[in-house]
Amino acid sequence: MLDARKGKLEDLIRELGAPERLSTKKDVAIYSTKKSLLRIPNRVYITGYVKSDSRPLYFHSVAITYIPGKRTANRGECSCESFEYRGFPCKHAVKMKDAYVAWLAIERKNR
Ligand SMILES: [Zn+2]
């Protein structure tokens, strides 16, 4: 279960340590990626923070599971109100999936 936190990224970094990756636009910070060892071998569990649009400087905590190659994340949660009232996926989950896919593409190119 995700720690449903929100706050300034600098405070989150101070509490949690540096993220594994930051997106080039600095609106997404991924703290960890874990390969799932259960059933679906390629599935990745991704946790991180995505910038809020309505509150400048604030970030929402987001966790998703994603299978590389798929168009969308298949599950997840977020600390925002949209997730609370409308459920998954909120725009933060989509942003984090897109940022992860972008990093995968860069990693492949650099190999
Ligand atoms: Zn959200």
Domain that holds residue 27: 6-110
How many domains, in total, are found in the chain? 1
Structure tokens at 65: 């599971």
Q: How far is the CA of 84 from the centre of ligand 1 (A)?
A: 8
Instruction: List alpha helices for the chain, DSSP H.
Output: 9-16, 81-86, 91-110
Pairing of strands 75-78, 58-66: antiparallel
Question: Is residue 1 included in any domain, yes or no?
Answer: no
Question: Is residue 78 included in any domain, yes or no?
Answer: yes
Question: Is residue 55 included in any domain, yes or no?
Answer: yes
Nearest to 45 by CA among 69, 63, 25: 63
Enter the pTM of the model: 0.83
The owner of tokens 């998954």 is: 88
* 111 residues of the chain, pLDDT tens digit each: 355 567 788 887 888 778 888 777 778 988 888 886 667 778 899 999 999 988 878 899 999 999 988 888 889 999 999 999 999 999 999 999 999 998 888 888 887
Q: How far is the CA of 110 from the centre of ligand 1 (A)?
A: 31
Question: Is residue 77 included in any domain, yes or no?
Answer: yes
